[in-house]
A and B are shown apart, each in its own frame.
Chain A
Amino acid sequence: MSEPFLELKEVRTHFPVEHGILFRHRVGTVRAVDGVSLRLQRGEVLGLVGESGCGKSTLGRTILQLLPPTEGAVILAGKNLAELRGGALREARADFQMVFQDPYASLNPRMTVFDTLAEAIGAHKQVPSAEMPARVAALMEKVGLSRRFVKKYPHEFSGGQRQRIAIARALAVEPKLIVADEPVSALDVSIQAQIINLLAGLSREMRLTLIFISHDLSVVKHISDRIAVMYLGKIVESGPAAGVFEKPLHPYTKALISAVAIPDPEREKKRQRIILSGDPPSPLRPPSGCAFHPRCPDANADCSRVTPPLEEFQTGREVACLRAREIS
């Protein structure tokens, strides 16, 4: 395997829980991301899935250095982003961008589309102002928006259109990596497919590496080359998208996949749902051993004592489960 384009090494992002008004003292730690390692090739699309609160958004923000990791390395094209500070980090940001969940909150309501995009284009390059209109128009075309709208404000667009503007803004600096944090969960179902297709098309066209975060497996199914499943700050399973869907290894992945509706009514009728009991545990006090064991239908006595490492199960597929070989 060649040198990965993006590599995460044992990334941890912890948040202190503090009490006290003038003199704060630490009373606990939320381990939002707790030891994630990952390798991605250039142009690959990774679907990152998990329940809400499992740390997938935190992981996305940590990769982009919007939240500094507590520990570990985020290596993009040979550069460890976690070590960059101040001006160096700001310059490096041209290489990686984010698309946010809520297109209603991610655009400045006081700026026109033109201002928003021009600001992004000019963030890392000197562009003569005479060239700007053409550049903005090209960008809008790329995301399927009419250039007639450049003078409009965010509140004059629909959610889908706003998300296109947000994608255009992310593309403006010509990044190599985009993290899309639940980019369609705030949109109508009818619009979701359009935005997913837009992102998929762009990543193919521009050889973009894309990390697509979602709580919905059916959303990432079509766009992803690979899928990583997160549970309580850790990756519990990863592998090629088709493989994971065909034959999930981790009991948690099985449960997630069983929740995806099947478009074929005949097969849909036979679909057996695995209902997990209980809520996801608090990342403030994770369970001992395998964090999933209190909800796992296949757990045995060992699971509450031994923390399973993420191990290669077969080529390209990894799983963190003590009983993976027995139950598969």
Chain B
Amino acid sequence: MAAPAQPVAITGAEELEAGHSLWQDAWLRLRKNKLAVGGGVFILVLALASFLSPLIAPHSYDTQNLALGATSPSGQHWLGTDDLGRDLLSRILYGGRISLSVGLAATLVAVVIGVLYGTISGYFGGRVDVLMMRIVDILFSLPFIIFVILLMVIYGRNIYLLFLAIGAVEWLDMSRIVRGQVLSLKKQEFIEAAQALGLRRRRIILRHMIPNVLGIVIIYGTLIVPRVMLTEAFLSFLGFGVQPPMSSWGTLISEGARSMEEFPWLLIFPGLAFSSTLFSLNFVGDGLRDALDVRASKD
């Protein structure tokens, strides 16, 4: 044969060499990032505690004890009680359940819509792309808080509607980011090679496009979560979020702010829970960006 073989001979029965996927490489890099790992662990613990709150909360979140009233932190109530005598720790745990699930669910909605919309817009290009992106521009220019408030007014306060409404607003950024990625990916030779092979469009999008935009999607996904939680807190603060006696961190902070001069712990602890979660999420997001960034990956 004319081709001089590579130095490695083919002997057949040799052991297969294991490869490292880019995902594995990214995971190794992420593990070295102490802030990101710390943030991730913190969020996991908090999420676990929140979702198990019916089991581990020391008190019921809505049992009132008017005789007790607002008390500062004590052995009985670790984080104190509010003016209706409800245990603050329990309320924070239950509130975390709402805040975190709004964060995750709305982000999921935003990611799914954003990825599909952005991929279609970028992949088909041309007029389709121009039209789809102008629609995004128009939606961007609408004052979305009014949109959410309108929804709330028309359909009543409904936690699932809240997920949907926030998600339906947050996908705009995601779709633009994904579209940009798809546009640059489309020019890559491996996409052309897949076309030259005669693969179906569906397969090209699912196997070749989406796995290669997923890194960016994950990064921006983790950064959407805190934004969504802030929005929820904001809406709850305005009174459009969850209904009492249920609480979210937003409502707790809003209640705490009202009485912060007399009972500062009612503002401090929910605020602490909320801001440390936001910090952690941002650390994880930054860590993921460093770990997944294609430019940082070895060639």
Tell me which residues across on chain B come within 8 A of A98, comparing CB atoms. Answer: 192-193, 196
Tell me, rounded to whole Å, the shortest Cβ–Cβ distance linking A162 to chain B.
11
Residue pair B8, A90 in contact (C-beta under 8 Å): no
The interface on chain A, measured as residues whose beta carbon lies within 8 A of the other chain's beta carbons, has a size of 58
Residue pair B197, A173 in contact (C-beta under 8 Å): yes
Q: Does B153 contact A (CB under 8 A)?
A: no
Residue pair A148, B195 in contact (C-beta under 8 Å): no
Q: Does B199 contact A (CB under 8 A)?
A: yes
Choose one: A105, A169, A202; the contact of B188 (CB below 8 Å).
A105
Give the A-B contact count at a CB cut-off of 8 A.
Answer: 129
Q: Name the residue among A21, A66, A104, A146 with the largest chain B CB count within 10 angstroms.
A: A146
Q: Does A282 contact B (CB under 8 A)?
A: no
Tell me, rounded to whole Å, the shortest Cβ–Cβ distance linking B4 to chain A.
6
Residue pair A104, B299 in contact (C-beta under 8 Å): yes
Residue pair B193, A169 in contact (C-beta under 8 Å): yes
Interface residue stretch chosen among A3-11, A33-41, A150-158:
A150-158
A90-B200, A124-B198, A147-B12 in contact; A106/B17 too (CB < 8 A)? Answer: no
List 30 contacting pairs A-B, 8 Å CB cutoff, sorted by A: A21-B130, A61-B192, A66-B195, A89-B198, A90-B199, A90-B200, A98-B193, A100-B192, A104-B299, A108-B208, A110-B22, A110-B211, A120-B197, A123-B199, A144-B5, A145-B6, A145-B8, A147-B10, A147-B12, A147-B14, A147-B16, A151-B16, A151-B17, A151-B19, A155-B297, A173-B198, A194-B3, A197-B3, A198-B3, A201-B2
Q: Which 3 A-B pairs have the closest CB atoms?
A: A201-B2, A93-B198, A152-B19
B interface residue numbers (CB < 8 A to A): 1-6, 8-10, 12, 14-23, 130, 134, 188-190, 192-200, 207-208, 211-212, 297-299
A interface residue numbers (CB < 8 A to B): 21-22, 61, 64, 66, 89-94, 97-98, 100-102, 104-112, 119-120, 123-124, 140-141, 143-153, 155-156, 160-161, 164, 166, 169, 173, 194, 197-198, 200-202, 204-205
Q: A108-B190, A149-B17, A155-B298 are in contact. List 18 more A-B contacts (CB 8 A).
A: A66-B192, A90-B199, A102-B189, A105-B189, A112-B21, A140-B10, A141-B10, A146-B10, A147-B14, A148-B15, A148-B16, A150-B16, A153-B22, A156-B19, A164-B6, A197-B3, A201-B1, A201-B3
